[in-house]
Amino acid sequence: MPENLRFLKFINPSSGEVVFSQVISQVIDFMIAEPRMHYRVMIGSDSNGTSSLDVVSVVAIHRVGHGGRYFWTRNSVVGIKTLRQKIYAEVQASLDLATLFLPAFRAALEAQGSASEVPFDFQIHIDVGDQGETRSLVHEVTGMVRGYGYEVYVKPESAAATSVADRHVR
């Protein structure tokens, strides 16, 4: 894992402040505890504000039907003037996190040996939907995420963005 990633800070409601490598370890430990279950690993972002956005990005692990855990981090993005720019900033934050997280996560799973056999889906959740102001953006931002090769979910199935990240936006 690159040195600069080791110190990327997240917050977990149970553990408090953790660094990137601990997020990966805790997600894997959660999966290994019940290896026969199916898991969803989700990344999503939400933001608040105008011109200077408070962007919260989330890594969440859901043991399907049996709860989960999540970790969040906060960043600021400046120069945002339109709803389209705001949505693109959120999607880009999720894609940036996914690009860092997924390779490190897969490498850590492989290092665990049998943990690599734990079934999981990897998903990007975005805060747009077929209703409301963002409906005109759904096709372009879902296409953007699919272009990166990720499975994408929108409202109302985008809980990592619309529920979890939203809870921590200022």
Say if CB 61 and CB 119 are below 8 A apart.
no
pLDDT for 86 equals 95
pLDDT for 6 equals 57
Cis peptide before 156, with omega less than 30 degrees from 0? yes
pLDDT for 52 equals 86
Which amino acid is located at 109 in the chain? L
Going residue by residue through the chain (170 aa), what tens digit of pLDDT does each one get? 444 455 689 999 999 999 999 999 999 999 999 999 999 999 999 999 877 899 999 999 999 999 999 999 999 999 999 999 999 999 999 999 999 999 999 999 989 876 668 899 999 999 999 998 999 999 999 999 999 999 999 999 999 999 999 999 97
Task: Give the DSSP letter of residue 149.
Answer: T
Which amino acid is located at 13 in the chain? P
Termini Cα distance of the chain: 31
Please name the residue that has the structure tokens 């149970």: 14
- CA dist., res. 57 & res. 67, Å (int): 19
- CA dist., res. 161 & res. 98, Å (int): 13
